[in-house]
Amino acid sequence: MKQHSTTFYNRLIYNLVKRYRHSTIPRWSVLLMDMVLFLIAFVIMEAFTQHGFTEVSLKRASVELITSMVITLLFFLSVGTHRSMVRHLGIKDVSNILIATAGPLALFWIANLINNNINPHIVQSRFLLSYRESFMLYSMLAVLMIIMRLAMQKIYNDYFRKRRPELNVVIYGAGAAGIITVNALKQDLHYEYKIVAFIDDDLSKVNQELDGVPVMRARAVLNPKFIEQRNVKQLIIAIPTVRQIHKQAISNKALELGLMVKSVPHIRHWINGSFSANQIENIKIEDLLERESIKLDNVNLVREIAGKTILVTGAAGSIGSEICRQLFQYQPERVIMLDQAESPMYDLQFELRNTKPYSNSVDRMEFVIANVKDQQRMEEVFSHFHPQLVYHAAAYKHVPFMEENPYEAVYVNVFGTRNIADLAIKYGAEKFVMVSTDKAVNPTNVMGATKRMAEIYIQSRSTERTHFVTTRFGNVLGSNGSVIPLFKKQLAAGGPLTVTHRDIIRYFMTIPEACNLVLEAGAMGQGGDIFVFDMGKPVKIYDMARKMIQLSGQTNIEIKEIGLRPGEKLYEELLANKEATIPTYHPKIMRAQVRTYSLDEIDREYADLWTKLETLDPMSIVAKMKEIVPEFISNNSVYCQLDHTDAQ
């Protein structure tokens, strides 16, 4: 019999949960429950304040009940205590309850004051609750209403709400953003977040509690013992204005401990000024660069760019497109965006024409489909637009492809650059700025060598009228063909992440800061300059892959070494050593000291290279390249046989 009743009870609970899980209690039901609680509180108050129930006292209590009930109901309706969802009791709901119960209490006290001190005949005392009665009644009523809502919330959470997996979390930041983060996490539909601890650097907050959770120092929380004992899985950085270098230190420490790391975005990125759990962002690999982002003073750029007609080649690429975006900040007269890639060019056109603030400059935009190696087409572009500034970002840059296709590498990177440079002089451009690469330093591959040859050519071409400037930097995070997009694709496919060598290192910067430096260096160049950028510390690609796996939360992804590709270096050359550079007024930009070539020598050598190009013979082409750039020593390539070294 007992087992049968238990089964019936469980089935009843199951059916109720299934039917009403997604339902909310009607407003009238909440109001009715509040009025029932009022009656309960009134009876208890009368029982404590009356020494005995007589016919007179019962009549007086009936009048007081009707009076106080009407007044209370009016306050409940005006404040709207019945309109909030009981299952989501919050600070606002509690304050509404206190206002709705304090209102009648204040009204009765004022009425008693008038009745007792001004004119006892204005209000008949039998309609009024005394000071003591009203205080006891509405104090009990407020407590009962809050308890009732907490109980219903507990019942909903325990029986009606769909159970979510629990996730133990540490929040870095015990300020306003930390509190907002906690409230947002409580409303999340996917996880039951349990806040284990707050971390804060403000010692005045340490050893206190926030929402019942202890505030602790970083070293007390971010250690293996605490993380293991409390089963912490995630760290959320709730300091939107935290310095980049501090954010990196926090993130790296958390990743070492195997934690997922997320952060609260700046308030300007909140949706309509409010914040929810799904706006908490994953830390990106860009956030883990071991330096502060480079910020520049743009006074020079305004003077350089405002009111000018500007040509950007390779405009649809990751570097070229960002140069275009940044140029529109400085009010150019017109920007001619040129690229041979039709689809990326269409995407750029759509973006700029339909996204503010660029869409405000639609009348200043020109989009041209053309190839820089087509001399006739380039002549047409220059004769039509007469650009005053040229930013030359068009180039082939993929090392393995160019190792296999030296003809195209030389044709585009060398002779395409020559076309644009010669036309810049012919049509009186004020400045020509070329985007180069650190792979041009002691090149070990065809691509790097072609970029060095392009540098040599334009360095010799500076005139009093047209100044030629070269900018060199390393790898750019997120650029087309770079390692970050590759790793993201491999993560999406379930791995593995491939690296060419466990010890390979590279210098990195973000696309916006690289392009900002290109514009700044171009503005300071006076002709024949090669500028190199301070890229910070080199980054191990293997470590970057490992951190990306940790950031993704997919701990089962492996990293696979596939061997160095043809022409690839293990270590890139340092770009800013004291022997090879001269400082400029900007601490992040140095002027390189490189060998100079005479104009006649270059014209003779490049004419010979053009002859070799016509043979279509890779070995002949590369052999001539090595004559022009003697420091070009191939690595892990079929062209190693052309070097008079023991390189393999």
pLDDT at 374: 95
- The answer to whether 440 and 480 have CB atoms below 8 angstroms apart is no
Q: What is the predicted pLDDT for the residue at 272?
A: 45
Q: How far is CA 404 from CA 135, 283, 438, 500, 638, in A?
A: 90, 37, 20, 18, 9
Which has the higher per-residue pLDDT, 366 or 17?
366
- Per the CB < 8 A criterion, the answer to whether 216 and 201 are in contact is no
Cα 577-513-372 angle, rounded to 5 deg: 90
Give the pLDDT confidence score for residue 158 in this predicted structure. 65
From residue 244, how far is each of 171, 248, 249, 291, 292 by CA, in Å?
Answer: 17, 6, 9, 8, 6
- The dihedral built from the CA positions of residue 175, 180, 186 and 191, taken in this order, carries a sign that is negative
pLDDT tens string 12-33: 555 544 554 545 667 778 888 8
pLDDT for 387 beyond 90: yes
**pLDDT recorded at residue 553:** 72
pLDDT in tens, 218-233: 888 889 899 988 898 8
Of the spans 99-103, 272-276, 473-477, which averages the highest pLDDT?
99-103
pTM for this structure? 0.69
pLDDT given at position 270 = 52
- The answer, yes or no, to whether residue 429 has pLDDT greater than 90, is yes
User: Does the pLDDT at position 618 exceed 90?
Assistant: yes
Return the structure tokens found at 98.
């206190």
Is 80 exceeded by the pLDDT of residue 441? yes
Name which residue leads in pLDDT, 77 or 571: 77
C-alpha span between 182 and 211 (Å, rounded): 9
- The pLDDT value recorded for residue 273 is 44
Range 259-268 average pLDDT: 72
User: What are the chain's domains?
Assistant: 19-160 (no CATH), 166-283 (3.40.50.720), 299-641 (3.40.50.720)
| Winning range, highest mean pLDDT, from 94-103, 173-182, 408-417, 440-449 | 408-417
Asked if 364 contacts 394 with a C-beta cutoff of 8 angstroms, the reply is no
d(CA 619, CA 369): 32
SS (H, E, C) 538-580: CEEHHHHHHHHHHHHCCCCCCEEECCCCCCCCCECCCCCCCCC
Contact 473, 514 (CB under 8 A): yes
Task: Using a pLDDT cut of 90, give the percent of the chain over it.
Answer: 26
pLDDT tens figures, 235-246 = 888 887 777 778
Look at residue 576 in the predicted model and tell me its pLDDT: 39
- Which residue, among 220, 284, 196, 296, has the nearest Cα to 248 in the 3D structure? 284
Cα 452 to Cα 395: distance, rounded to the nearest angstrom: 12
Asked whether residue 271 carries a pLDDT value surpassing 50, the answer given is no
Average pLDDT, the chain: 81
Residue 490 to residue 60: CA distance in whole angstroms: 81
Residue 333 has what pLDDT? 95
Maximum pairwise Cα distance, the chain: 125
Tell me, what's the pLDDT at 126?
56
Which DSSP symbol is given to 164? -
For 171, residues 6+ apart whose C-beta sits below 8 A from its C-beta are 178, 181, 182, 195, 197, 198, 199, 235, 236, 238
- Mean pLDDT is lowest, of 250-264, 449-463, 622-636, for 250-264
Q: Cα separation of 589 and 514, whole Å?
A: 11
